[in-house]
Structure 1
Amino acid sequence: MTNSTQHELTLVLNGTGKTGRRVAERLAGRGVPVRVASRSAETRFDWTDETTWPAALDGVRAVYLAYAPDLAVPGAPKAIAAFCEAAVEAGVRRLVLLSGRGESEAEVCEDIVRGCGTDWTIVRAAWFFQNFTESDFAGYVRAGHLALPVGDVPEPFVDADDIADVAVAALTEDGHRGRLYELTGPRALTFAEAMGEISELTGSEVGYGTLTPDEFTAALEGAGVPAEEVAFLAYLFTTLFDGRNERPADGVRRALGREPRDFRDFVREAAARGAWTA
Structure 2
Amino acid sequence: MTRDDLTLVLGGSGTTGSRVARLLTGRGLPVRIGSRSGGVPFDWTDPATWAPALEGARAVYIAYYTDLAAPGAPEVIGAFAELAVASGARRLVLLSGRGEQEAEACEKAVARSGADWTVLRASWFAQNFSEGYLLEPVLAGEVALPVFEVGEPFVDVADIAEVAAAVLTQHGHTGRTYELTGPRLLTFADAVAAIARATGRDISFVSVPVDDYAAGLAAEGVPDEVTALLTYLFTTVLDGRGAHLDDGVQQVLGRPARDFTTYAHDTAATGIWTGKTTDRGSA
Provide closer, same or farther for how the CA distance between residues 6 and 181 of structure 1 changes in structure 2, counting only shifts above 3 A. farther
CA distance in 2, matches of 1:152, 1:18: 27
Q: Is 1:221 aligned to 2:250, yes or no? A: no
The equivalent residue for 1:170 is 167
Contact 1:19–1:164 (CA<8 Å) still a contact in 2?
yes
Q: Structure 2 stretches of 5 or more lacking a match?
A: 276-283
The equivalent residue for 1:247 is 244
Normalization by structure 2: what TM-score?
0.96
What letter corresponds to residue 79 of structure 2 in structure 1? A
Provide closer, same or farther for how the CA distance between residues 170 and 5 of structure 1 changes in structure 2, counting only shifts above 3 A. farther
Contact 2:199–2:274 (CA<8 Å) still a contact in 1?
no
SS in 2 for 1:140: helix
Q: Is 1:92 aligned to 2:86, yes or no? A: no
What letter corresponds to residue 51 of structure 2 in structure 1? P
CA distance in 2, matches of 1:41, 1:188: 35
CA distance in 2, matches of 1:47, 1:41: 14
Q: Is 1:129 aligned to 2:148, yes or no? A: no
What letter corresponds to residue 246 of structure 2 in structure 1? A
Contact 1:37–1:56 (CA<8 Å) still a contact in 2?
yes
The equivalent residue for 1:113 is 110
The equivalent residue for 2:278 is none
SS in 2 for 1:175: coil
The equivalent residue for 2:186 is 189
Provide closer, same or farther for how the CA distance between residues 246 and 5 of structure 1 changes in structure 2, counting only shifts above 3 A. farther
Runs of 4+ residues deviating >2 angstroms: 4-7
The equivalent residue for 1:138 is 135
The equivalent residue for 1:29 is 26
Normalization by structure 1: what TM-score?
0.97
Q: Is 1:104 aligned to 2:98, yes or no? A: no
SS in 1 for 2:249: helix
CA distance in 2, matches of 1:234, 1:132: 17
CA drift at 1:7: 2.6
CA drift at 1:181: 0.5
1:46-61 aligned at under 5 Å gives the runs 46-61=43-58
Contact 2:145–2:213 (CA<8 Å) still a contact in 1?
yes
- Tell me the alpha carbon deviations over residues 111-154 of structure 1, each in whole angstroms, 9 at most, x when there is no partner: 11122111111000000010000012111111111000000001
Contact 1:186–1:260 (CA<8 Å) still a contact in 2?
yes
1:232-271 aligned at under 5 Å gives the runs 232-271=229-268
The sequence identity of aligned pairs, in percent, is 56
CA drift at 1:62: 0.2
CA distance in 2, matches of 1:161, 1:241: 22
CA distance in 1, matches of 2:209, 2:24: 43
CA distance in 2, matches of 1:7, 1:185: 34
SS in 2 for 1:114: helix
What letter corresponds to residue 215 of structure 2 in structure 1? A
What letter corresponds to residue 150 of structure 2 in structure 1? V
SS in 1 for 2:120: strand
- Tell me the alpha carbon deviations over residues 250-278 of structure 1, each in whole angstroms, 9 at most, x when there is no partner: 00001111000000011001111112013
Question: How many residue pairs align between the two structures?
Answer: 275
Contact 2:81–2:113 (CA<8 Å) still a contact in 1?
yes
The equivalent residue for 2:153 is 156
CA drift at 1:6: 3.6
CA drift at 1:178: 1.4
User: What RMSD, in angstroms, separates the aligned Cα atoms of the two structures?
Assistant: 0.8
SS in 2 for 1:18: coil
Q: Structure 1 stretches of 5 or more lacking a match?
A: none
Greater displacement, 182-191 / 108-117? 108-117
